[in-house]
Chain A
């Protein structure tokens, strides 16, 4: 009898924690995706973005969400099966939150073609779902002592950086400013931005003592981490920048040099996103 009562209380507690997780997910989606939900270029992209590229973005988001969920999901996820379930929930929250906010802002109207409505919501659901997933880590308990001893495999570390870079890129890539900056800058400016990005990236993770920062063992020289983590991280950030600029059709018919400039411009915030992901997650 007492066993059953305890079981029921446990189940209730479980549901309660799950609902809190959902609430944090919605809060995270709102908090982190609102800048994009209120960006004009993102609304327009909803109808002119090529459907193949939109589909690719939506599909690429899935493994990133699963990985994030494995690290920080709504609840402690121990198996990949649970991670997939939580990633699905986060995507669902992302879609619903985007739909709700876009509708409330008067951006979805009944007289719009269905493909425009779908495109607008689908595009926004990507950052919103990442936001929903991060909601738990940022607004919930975050890293705690019981995470002690967890080891991050190298490929997961790179994928986490890609997720951070993608999230920040999605904020900035659709804006006209990315292209204007690329048009304005000379090759000297581009060089300066590359050096700045790499320095800031390395400094964020190793030099400045944030909680979650990275340390080297005393016998390891500094350039070990620079070659093994910072440079690959920068390449990942640049690759994510190429991907988002391509998805948002920002390249147009520009020459290779102009494209490279815009990738370097977007690579700056993307590399910051990548190093922030290493600290937070």
Chain B
């Protein structure tokens, strides 16, 4: 409990036990968080972004085809402006090429996106791969 007097607040000397309980629980939480982060400083080595694409589904849309995919970053560093290029090839010749840019793919995380094609990827060779990134 806090008392307001002469423009100042005065903390009571004899607080209710709930104040102590809340304080101790908070202390445990903060120490736990410090412990977690402290553990990270020791165990987590900085590795450059390691990006991989996994194609999920191909669906027909009004104007063509949508290929949905997830992009994974297994490293402990975040990649920014990640460009993903998708090539559709038929008989060794690229017939369609599209790309998409992810603002960020966070460390040890995934992001979802999709590429749109005019031609049906079914029966053709589809290659979707990360093409580059910058440091955030």
Chain A residues packing against B (C-beta within 8 Å): 143, 147-154, 157-158, 176, 179-180, 183-184, 186-188, 190-191, 194, 198, 211-217, 219-220, 224-225, 227-229, 231-232, 234-235, 238, 252-255, 257-258, 260, 264, 278
Residues 72-129 of B contacting A (Cβ, < 8 Å): 78, 80, 103-104, 106-112
Total A-B residue pairs with C-beta atoms closer than 8 Å?
A: 145
B63 contacts A by Cβ under 8 Å:
no
B30's partner among A143, A151, A235 (CB-CB below 8 A) is: A235
B30 touches A231 (CB 8 A): yes
Residues of B within 8 A of A213 (CB): 8-9
Chain A at the B interface: SS class: helix
Residues of A within 8 A of B109 (CB): 252-255, 258
- Minimum C-beta distance from A159 to chain B (A): 13
Distance of A198 Cα from B27 Cα, bound (Å): 11
A148's partner among B5, B18, B78 (CB-CB below 8 A) is: B5
B2 touches A235 (CB 8 A): no
Distance of A198 Cα from B10 Cα, bound (Å): 20
Known contacts A217-B11, A227-B26; 13 additional CB pairs below 8 A are A148-B4, A148-B5, A183-B80, A183-B104, A184-B78, A187-B37, A211-B8, A212-B7, A216-B13, A253-B109, A255-B106, A255-B107, A260-B33
Residues of B within 8 A of A235 (CB): 25-26, 29-30
- Which residue, of A151, A186, A187, A258, has the highest number of chain B Cβ atoms within 10 A? A187
- Minimum C-beta distance from A17 to chain B (A): 23
A191 touches B9 (CB 8 A): no
B64 contacts A by Cβ under 8 Å:
no
B22 contacts A by Cβ under 8 Å:
yes
Residues of B within 8 A of A194 (CB): 30, 33-34, 37
A258 touches B11 (CB 8 A): no
B24 contacts A by Cβ under 8 Å:
yes
Residues 1-55 of B contacting A (Cβ, < 8 Å): 1-11, 13, 15-16, 18-20, 22-27, 29-30, 33-34, 36-38, 40-41, 44, 46
A-B contact pairs, 16 of them (CB 8 A): A152-B1, A152-B2, A176-B103, A188-B41, A191-B37, A194-B30, A213-B9, A217-B11, A217-B13, A219-B13, A225-B11, A229-B11, A232-B26, A255-B108, A260-B33, A260-B36
A228 touches B9 (CB 8 A): no
Residues of B within 8 A of A231 (CB): 23, 26-27, 30
Distance of A190 Cα from B30 Cα, bound (Å): 13
Given contacts A153-B1, A194-B34, contact A220 B13 (CB under 8 A): yes
- Minimum C-beta distance from B20 to chain A (A): 7
Residues of B within 8 A of A186 (CB): 41, 46
Distance of A65 Cα from B1 Cα, bound (Å): 21
Distance of A146 Cα from B16 Cα, bound (Å): 26
Distance of A227 Cα from B20 Cα, bound (Å): 7
B136 contacts A by Cβ under 8 Å:
yes
Residues of B within 8 A of A176 (CB): 103
Distance of A194 Cα from B7 Cα, bound (Å): 30
A212 touches B19 (CB 8 A): no
A214's partner among B8, B25, B27 (CB-CB below 8 A) is: B8
A187 touches B41 (CB 8 A): yes
A149 touches B1 (CB 8 A): no
Residues of B within 8 A of A264 (CB): 37
Distance of A148 Cα from B8 Cα, bound (Å): 9
- Minimum C-beta distance from B44 to chain A (A): 6
- Minimum C-beta distance from B49 to chain A (A): 11
